[in-house]
Structure 1
Amino acid sequence: MGQNLSRRRFLSLSAGVTSLGLMPLPLSAASPLLRRWSGAALGGPASIAVHHPDPGTADQLIERCVSELGRLENIFSLYRPDSALCRLNRDGYLDGPPSDLVVLLSECIWFSRLTGGAFDVTVQPLWRLYADHFSRTDSPAAGPDRDAVERALDLVGYDELLLDADHVTFAKKGMAVTLNGIAQGFITDRIAEILRSGGCDSVLADLGEIRALGTHPSGQAWRVGLADPWVPDRIARTLEVADRAVATSAASGFQFDASGRFHHLLDPATGISAARYASVSVVARDATTADALSTALTLMPIAGADRVLRDTAGSVALLTYPDGKTQTHKGDRSAS
């Protein structure tokens, strides 16, 4: 997990709303039944396509969603110095934290335990180490020395993140959190629930991760294109989804060096960038789960991934290996 949010723009929508630089799919023809919004969320392009029996109500709900996006960004953003997250990282504690931050951090700890620590939001010191190293023109191409990596690793550990309703505290000075492996999914779910509760029966929200409510107003499933991890302008695979969320993590999403050896998917156990898969996409019941698992599974062998998928009923992982081979995993079942 790292600080550049464009790392996840590996999904293309087919609702007349397109993701950054990706190929539109056949269902992308304009539909008069959909109300649309496009803008930005957490530093990346964002879009919402909504159907409601009353277009005026749809527009009002979209306005509520945009307001909620701004509110949540003021909590979770690493780009806004006064966000709750930035204040926590700066001071090492936060008194009277926003309830949404406590809820999300609690979910982060749950996913950390579920994945045996593969998902860990306290990896931000590692990200800073690599970013600082490669920002200097005279830095060795081999990356930071091992002693520096070990010092950063000493500040990584989800069990050192202490929280309750009234306080969030780091157990060690110098710790820091990034929510970039889960906040987009969490926000996507929040927006989807606003629209669902407002009576929208067809929704496709792309706020860094994708969540579909119902089907396209035409009655067809929403179509989501997964980009080729080596040629992002090319759609490698198309998924049909309804009442599901999709998230993708790929090593090529953000790279610290020109070779791509050092990238944002950092292993909290070793401090080294993951090399097991070229990309991992997860289809799950909600975007928070899809987001967290797509991050964690990039670090996990098949046996561990299968266990996690079994424990999150209904989740499916689409794995692309460095040699181009692909596999679909559904817990203990797989198919090439």
Structure 2
Amino acid sequence: MRDSGCAVAPGRVGGRRRFISICAAVSGLATVPAWARQAAAPEMTHRWQGIALGADASLEIRHPDAVLAQRVLTQVQAELERLEQLFSLYRPDSALVALNQQGVLAEPAGEMLTLLSESVHFGQLTDGAFDISVQPLWRVYADHFSEAQADPAGPTVAALAAAREKVDYRRIALDSDAVRLQPGMALTLNGIAQGYVTDRIVALLRQAGIEHALVDMGEIYGMAPEAVAPWRVGLQDAARLESLSRTLDVANQAVATSGGYGTPLDMAGRFNHLFDPRTGLTGRRYASVSVAARRATTADAMSTAFSLMPEAQIDTLAQSLQLDVYVQHHDGSQAEWRYADPAQNA
């Protein structure tokens, strides 16, 4: 199925955690009184495209003041640069790379402590399905499949067991003075940082007085005032990448998608970037999982965790956190849980 208002535009993987299977279309005026239509009609569109945390990113602002909009776009780029310096795995000068190399990060920035604390919280919430300390597993798989004659069955049981011994979010020591890792540990924020960055950009826009925008920093957030229609986003069909599995209306809400098909580690696609910290294997339970939430940080982390969890646990957590969850199975069938409260997104 292809929605006429939403063209499929798969994100290009630049070392990023996932293949973004969400595309976005322009929102229009809702069916509202004439005065509301008149108030919204003069808005101008201001766009930026670039890179955030190694992946394609974009921002579309609707605002009649072009000078204000351009000033905000400049501020957004500066904020992205600052956050990259903290969270990127692909910049040798980032705080995260320093932490992984040295095992300690003295006087961490407030945002680093906040994101690490949230990551530990999601680890607790999901009984370890979400774990930012899986970087040693990534290294084992990356090293294995970079060999010329790599065994298509994947890394050895011994290699995976050795890596798993270094994986445990509960062993991350967080303190305002320093972040400390035990020997051999390393972190990746690729399962949550894009959501956190998205939320930071949304906060920046709101502070500047912007109410109508589509933020795509690897995870999507649609900002929409009451007088205009929601943004429409399409969830990519994991089996037919040129098509959509469904479309969603998004207003003051985030959407994130995880799917193993996005970052295959081997030519056959048997192994992917969704590492199960409890087994060392890669997740193949679902073709894709999409989560809609009030915060992109939550949508990002939970779409990752839900990819490794049975449906009964998804249902329980989705209800507890007031999330909408959309699962596509490998046979093309779908399941969904709708617990988000639209009133909370106003």
TM over 0.5: yes
Provide the residue aligned with 1:63 in structure 2: 74
TM-score scaled by length of structure 2: 0.87
The answer on whether the counterparts of 1:3 and 1:178 sit within 8 Å (CA) in structure 2 is no
CA–CA distance in structure 1, aligned partners of residues 155 and 57 of structure 2: 35
Deviations, residues 115-156 of structure 1 (Å, cap 9, x unaligned):
111000000000110011001011211111101100000000
AA aligned to 1:14 is A
Match of 2:121 among 92, 96, 110: 110
SS in 2 for 1:299: coil
Deviations, residues 189-211 of structure 1 (Å, cap 9, x unaligned):
00011001111110110000001
Provide the residue aligned with 2:91 in structure 1: 80
SS in 1 for 2:197: helix
The answer on whether the counterparts of 1:309 and 1:331 sit within 8 Å (CA) in structure 2 is yes
Provide the residue aligned with 1:242 in structure 2: 251
CA–CA distance in structure 2, aligned partners of residues 14 and 268 of structure 1: 36
CA–CA distance in structure 2, aligned partners of residues 230 and 215 of structure 1: 35
CA–CA distance in structure 2, aligned partners of residues 99 and 319 of structure 1: 35
Provide the residue aligned with 1:99 in structure 2: 110
Match of 1:323 among 325, 331, 334: 331
TM-score scaled by length of structure 1: 0.90
Provide the residue aligned with 1:13 in structure 2: 24
Deviations, residues 260-296 of structure 1 (Å, cap 9, x unaligned):
1111001000001111100000000010000000000
Provide the residue aligned with 2:53 in structure 1: 42
AA aligned to 2:177 is D
Match of 2:262 among 246, 253, 264: 253
CA–CA distance in structure 2, aligned partners of residues 266 and 278 of structure 1: 14
SS in 2 for 1:132: helix
SS in 2 for 1:247: strand
1:209 is the counterpart of 2:219: yes
The answer on whether the counterparts of 1:210 and 1:246 sit within 8 Å (CA) in structure 2 is yes
SS in 1 for 2:57: strand
Provide the residue aligned with 2:33 in structure 1: none
Provide the residue aligned with 1:27 in structure 2: none
1:191 is the counterpart of 2:201: yes
* Aligned-pair Cα RMSD in Å: 1.9
Residue 216 of structure 1 deviates from its aligned partner by 9.4
Over 3 Å counting, the alpha-carbon distance change for 1:61 and 1:216 in structure 2 is farther
Task: Give aligned-pair identity as a percent.
Answer: 45
Deviations, residues 222-274 of structure 1 (Å, cap 9, x unaligned):
01111111332222211111011000000101011112111100100000111
CA–CA distance in structure 1, aligned partners of residues 261 and 146 of structure 2: 18
Provide the aligned length of Structure 1 versus Structure 2: 314
Match of 2:186 among 152, 168, 176: 176
1:137 is the counterpart of 2:145: no
SS in 1 for 2:314: helix
The answer on whether the counterparts of 1:52 and 1:199 sit within 8 Å (CA) in structure 2 is no
The answer on whether the counterparts of 2:222 and 2:230 sit within 8 Å (CA) in structure 1 is no
Residue 32 of structure 1 deviates from its aligned partner by 6.1
SS in 1 for 2:134: helix
Gaps of 5+ in 2: 1-12, 28-41, 341-346
The answer on whether the counterparts of 1:216 and 1:222 sit within 8 Å (CA) in structure 2 is no
CA–CA distance in structure 1, aligned partners of residues 258 and 242 of structure 2: 16
